[in-house]
Structure 1
Amino acid sequence: MRKPGRAFLAAAPTLRHFRDASHEPALPDPGPCERRVEDGAPRLGQRATARRKALLAGHRPPPLDVAAAEAPAEFVARRKAGMPDEWY
C-alpha cells in the first residue's frame, strides 16, 4: 500500500510491474520534432518503411517439413474427390 507523501514510482506494485508495463519504441524519435524537421531527418513513415524493408530483406522462413507441405494438397484432393463436379 502506498503511503501518503511518497512517490508512486517507489511503490512496490509499480516496481513489480515496471519492466512489463514499459517498453522501448522500435522507431525512437531522437530529439525534439522541430530540430528533426530543420535537420531534414526522415519522418516516422519513412523510418518505418525503411525498417519494414530491412526486416523483410533479412527474413528467412524456417524449413518446412515435407509432410506439412504436402498436407494441404492431400486435403484439397480428398475434398474434391468427395464433392460432385460443378460447372463453376
Structure 2
Amino acid sequence: MSIYVGNLSYEVTEEELTAVCAKYGTVKSVYLPTDRETGRLRGFGFVSMGAEMEESDIIEALDGSEWMGRELKVNKAKPRALHN
C-alpha cells in the first residue's frame, strides 16, 4: 500500500517529503511525478512506508495540515487503473 499526498508545493523535493514522513516511521520510497512535456512537478506524490500502521499515522497527522504554504490532502492511494 502507498499513500497519496496531494496539493504539494511545486518546489518540494523527494528529500523534504521523505524527512516529513520519516517522523512517522520508515520510508520505503517516495515518488513525485513530473509533467512529461514541461518536466515540472505535478503537485502530488506517493509515499510507501514500512508498515501499514505508519501509513495510517501519516494520514491522520498530515491530512488537512499546512506545509510549505499549502493544505495537504493525504489518503490511501487508489490502485492504478489499467488502460487497454
TM (norm. structure 1) is 0.21
TM (norm. structure 2) is 0.21
Q: Which has the larger radius of gyration?
A: 1
The structure where helix makes up a greater share of residues is: 1
The structure where strand makes up a greater share of residues is: 2
Higher relative contact order (CA 8 A, sep 6+): 2
